[in-house]
Each structure stands twice: as C-alpha cells, then as structure tokens.
Amino acid sequence: MKTLILGGGAVGSTLGGHLARDGRDVTIADGWFQHVDAMKQNGLQVQTVEGDFTVKPNAIHLDELAGFGTADLIIVAGKAYDTRLLSMLAREHLSESTIVMSSQNGMNDSAVGQWVGQERMVACVVALAADLIEPGVVKRTSPAEVAGVVFGHLAPGRDRAVLDQLQQHFAPLGVVSVADDAWPDRWGKLTLNTMSNALAGLTGLWSDTLWSDPFTLDIMTALGHETAAVAAASGVESSPVLGRISHQLLLDATSISTPAWADIGAQMSAISAGRVGKKANRASLLQDIMKGRRTEVDYLNGWVSAEGKARGVPTPTHDQLVRELKSVERGTRPADRENARDLADAVGRWYA
C-alpha cells in the first residue's frame, strides 16, 4: 500500500517512522525544510518507550510532490488550520481507489472530504502521544501495547474489508483497532483534547501535573462535561476518555458537589500518578506555544463552542478558555499556571 503522509509533525512522523521500520512504502511530505533535510541526510530517529530506532522514510519537501504520482493511501496529518491546503495537495495524488484519512486534531474529516470525495474518507483516530523534539527526531511517549489508532467509517454501509486492510497495514504501530462507526471514538478524542490541550497551553503544565493539580482538575471536568453535552446533542455517545471516564459520567458531572465530579477528579489523578517520571508528555498545543506558533484552539475548544451555540448547549468554560489562550498565543503573556486562576474561579461559580 503506497502511503503518502502530508504533514511530518509529531503524529505524521510517528506513523511514518513505524511504517518505514517495517518496510512499508511510505513517503512523508512536509513544509518544515529543516525537518525534511534532517530526515533526508540522517534518517528519522523515533524515540519510544520500548527503545529508539532510526529509519529512512522517503522524505520530501512539499514542492517535490509534483513528481510523486498517485498513492493508495493519503494521510492528512498537518495542523487543522492547514486542512484546506493539504486537502488540495492530496487531491492531486488520487487514483480511483485511493483511501484518504485525517489524523489531525479536531473534526476535519468532512472538510477533507469536500476536496477529495466523502466516499474515500476513513476516520483515523490517533490516541498515541507524540512530540517532535527537533528536526529529524520524534518521541512517542505512549507504549505500543496501548491502543494507539482506531480506524473506522463515518457513514453506514461502508466496506469492512477496507478497515481490515488498514489494520494490517498499521500493525507495526502496535495495538490498532477498527470500528464500523467511528463517531464515538472521534468524539472521545475530541473530549480529551478539549479537556487538556488548550489548558496545557495556557498553564504550561505537562500531562502528569495538569491531570493531578486540584487547580486545573475542576476546569478539566467542566470542559469534559460541556463537550459531552454537545456530543449528546449531536446524537453521539463518546467513547470513554482515556478508556476510563465514560460519557455518562461526564454528563452526570453537573456541579462540583455531584459524586460524578469527584469520581472524574479521582480517576484523572490516578492516571496522572501513573505517568509521573514515565509517560508524561507535552500536549500538542503546548508544543505550539513553546515554539511560538499558531495553535489549533479554534478547531478544538472553539469548535465545541460553535457547535454548542448551534445546538443550544451552554459552553462557558470553553468560551472563556479560548479567550484566555489568545493572549498567550499572541505572546502577550507566557504560559503559566496562574493564567488559569480567573477561569478556575468562574468554574467554581458556574458549577457551584
């Protein structure tokens, strides 16, 4: 299966690195010249829990795509705000049977499908944690035995054989699974992202601290409750966050005094304790803040806010988090735990 990955960031490089190690025909195309040149010259170093390895995938600059030809599988793996650009590039490399997937943050499948054809789209829900350390070096902090990717259909009646083929193709990643209906997993990932990603960018906290600090736990629970409510209004029961925090539990967290609220905090703290010194990672949005880049908050928490308005579901925590983060994104103030104080106080009032 000739595979083209459009976007060689943390996820794109992790996927491409594991495929290349197993001898798959994979090309990584990216716009960061230094990263592509590093892969061309020295290969791609993939740091993992199980051990590091270096491979040499076919790495090309975006302007080298002209001679690439068609692909059997195209993965749009860049930032959500580059979806249109990457989708238009993907369209130039389609054959009649090409499969296209978005491995991005946010709900971009339909947007990609507008350019390449909705009938080609297969959901690629990436749950693994990865960090692009420097040009030519990517780090995967989640172990291979933990489910890293779910492939699934977003419309009924699609061919199950396609999913089985993808599962076999991505076996080098470790545990991968398939789902005839990918919407619960897509919403489950969005829930986790909207609970933690932007908040990490605002506070500068890594996952092990963010999920255990009482100061941020209430904010995360409020964010999870609101995303779950929007999912329910959309007719979807999300898959459990981190495999443990159910959609119903998030819906039941209607106030700080509810047992559900306390249960969510306890579960997140327990998960966090298992990451201390082991699997702690920087959220992708925090990585962007640290690199002085534009963030994807408008496609995560901002998207939930917009969907909430459209469906009559209040999302005050998302609304304020987006506003608070913008000043950090602009460089007006650095990422710092104290940035979340006003938001934490507001959550205390809204969910009293």
Q: Are residue 331 and residue 193 in the same domain, yes or no?
A: yes
In angstroms and rounded to an integer, the radius of gyration of the C-alpha atoms of the chain is 20
Supply the pLDDT for residue 158: 85
Question: What is the per-residue burial (b if ≥16 Cβ within 10 Å, else e) of 183-211?
Answer: bbbbbbbbbbbbbbbbbbbbbbbbbbbbb
pLDDT digits (tens, 9 = 90+) for 141-163: 888 888 789 999 988 888 899 99
Supply the pLDDT for residue 183: 96
CA dist., res. 317 & res. 320, Å (int): 5
Supply the pLDDT for residue 30: 96
Supply the pLDDT for residue 208: 79
- Asked whether 44 and 19 are in contact (CB, 8 A), the reply is no
With a CB cutoff of 8 Å and minimum separation 6, the contacts of 160 are: 178, 180
- Asked whether 257 and 286 are in contact (CB, 8 A), the reply is no
- Asked whether 131 and 108 are in contact (CB, 8 A), the reply is no
Supply the pLDDT for residue 155: 87
Q: Which of 181, 197, 229 is the last residue of a domain?
A: 181
Looking at the 3D structure of the chain, how many domains does it have? Answer: 2
- Asked whether 350 and 223 are in contact (CB, 8 A), the reply is no
Supply the pLDDT for residue 273: 75
Q: Which of 181, 200, 222 is the last residue of a domain?
A: 181
Supply the pLDDT for residue 277: 56
Residues of the chain with pLDDT under 70: 274-280
Supply the pLDDT for residue 146: 81
Centre a 10 Å sphere on the Cβ of residue 212 and count the other Cβ atoms it contains.
Answer: 19
Q: Are residue 248 and residue 199 in the same domain, yes or no?
A: yes
Q: Are residue 110 and residue 254 in the same domain, yes or no?
A: no
Apex 220 CA angle, 312 and 285, nearest 5: 95
CA dist., res. 18 & res. 173, Å (int): 6
- Asked whether 140 and 127 are in contact (CB, 8 A), the reply is no
Supply the pLDDT for residue 168: 95
Instruction: Give the global pTM.
Output: 0.93
Q: Are residue 167 and residue 197 in the same domain, yes or no?
A: no
CATH of the domain at 40: 3.40.50.720
Sign of CA dihedral 94, 97, 98, 103: positive
Q: Which of 137, 153, 181 is the last residue of a domain?
A: 181
Q: Kindly write down the DSSP assignment for every residue of 303-319, as one continuous string.
A: HHHHHHHHHT---HHHH
Q: Are residue 121 and residue 227 in the same domain, yes or no?
A: no
With a CB cutoff of 8 Å and minimum separation 6, the contacts of 326 are: 297
Apex 199 CA angle, 344 and 335, nearest 5: 100
Supply the pLDDT for residue 134: 94
CATH of the domain at 217: 1.10.1040.10
- Asked whether 83 and 279 are in contact (CB, 8 A), the reply is no
Supply the pLDDT for residue 52: 95
Q: Are residue 171 and residue 188 in the same domain, yes or no?
A: no
Q: Are residue 115 and residue 37 in the same domain, yes or no?
A: yes
Q: Are residue 58 and residue 134 in the same domain, yes or no?
A: yes
Q: Are residue 163 and residue 237 in the same domain, yes or no?
A: no
Supply the pLDDT for residue 159: 85
**Domain carrying residue 23:** 3-181
Q: Are residue 113 and residue 232 in the same domain, yes or no?
A: no
Distance between first and last Cα of the chain: 54
Supply the pLDDT for residue 280: 64
Hey, is 6 helix, strand or coil?
strand
Q: Are residue 24 and residue 168 in the same domain, yes or no?
A: yes
With a CB cutoff of 8 Å and minimum separation 6, the contacts of 134 are: none
Q: Are residue 188 and residue 142 in the same domain, yes or no?
A: no
